Amino acid sequence: MTNTTRLIICERGSSAIELAISLVAFLGMLFGIIKMAMMLSTMASLQYAAETAARCAAVAATGCTSASSIQSYALNHYFGLPLDGTNPFVYAASGCGNTVTATYNYSLVIPMIGTFPVTLSATACAV
C-alpha cells in the first residue's frame, strides 16, 4: 500500500484537520467582529468630539474663539483610532449656527470575506 493511498484512506487525525479548518473560519469571524467594534468606537468618538466642539463654539468658551482653535479643540476630545496626521474636524459657522463635521476613511477588513472601505462621518451643530 502506497503512502498516497494511506493518506487518502487513513482517517486518523481528521478531527485535528477539521478543527484547523473551522478555527480559521472562527478566527476570521472573531477578527471581523474586532475590526467592526473598532469602527463603531471610532464613529462614536468622532461624533462625541464634534458635539463637544460645536457646544464649545456655541458658548464661545475660551479656546473656542476661532475656526482653527475649535478644530483643535475637537481633535483633543477625539479618542478613536490614530489619525494620519491631518485633523478630520472642520468647523463652519453655518447650519443652525456652529457646525462641526468630521470624516474618517476606515478600511473594514473582514478576513476571508474582504476589505470594505467605509467613510465614517459625524455632524454636530449647536447654537
Partner 1 sequence: MTRLRMLRNHTLLNPADRCVDVSKIKNENGGNVLIEFALIAPIFLILMMNLLDFSRLIWARMQVDYSAQMGARAAYSTCSTGTLPAKTNCANLTTAVTTAAQATSLGTAVSLASGYPSETYYCVNGTTLQSVGSYSSPPSPFNCSAAGSASTTPGDYIEVDVAYDFAPIFSGLSLASSQTLTGNAIQRLN
Positions that interact with partner 1 (CB under 8 A): 1, 6, 9-12, 14-15, 18-19, 21-22, 25-26, 29, 32-33, 36, 40, 43-44, 47, 51, 58, 95-97, 99, 121-127
Give me the least distance between CB of 119 and partner 1, in Å please: 12
Neighbouring C-alpha atoms within 13 Å toward the C-beta of 67? 10
R_g (Cα) of the chain, nearest Å: 24
Residue whose C-alpha cell is 487518502:
8
Residue placing its CB nearer to partner 1 in the complex, 10 or 85: 10
Q: Are residues 64 and 73 in contact, defined by beta-carbon separation less than 8 angstroms?
A: yes
Residue placing its CB nearer to partner 1 in the complex, 29 or 61: 29
Give me the least distance between CB of 114 and partner 1, in Å please: 15
Residue placing its CB nearer to partner 1 in the complex, 5 or 85: 5
What's the burial of 98, exposed, middle or buried (CB within 10 Å: 0-12/13-18/19+)?
A: buried
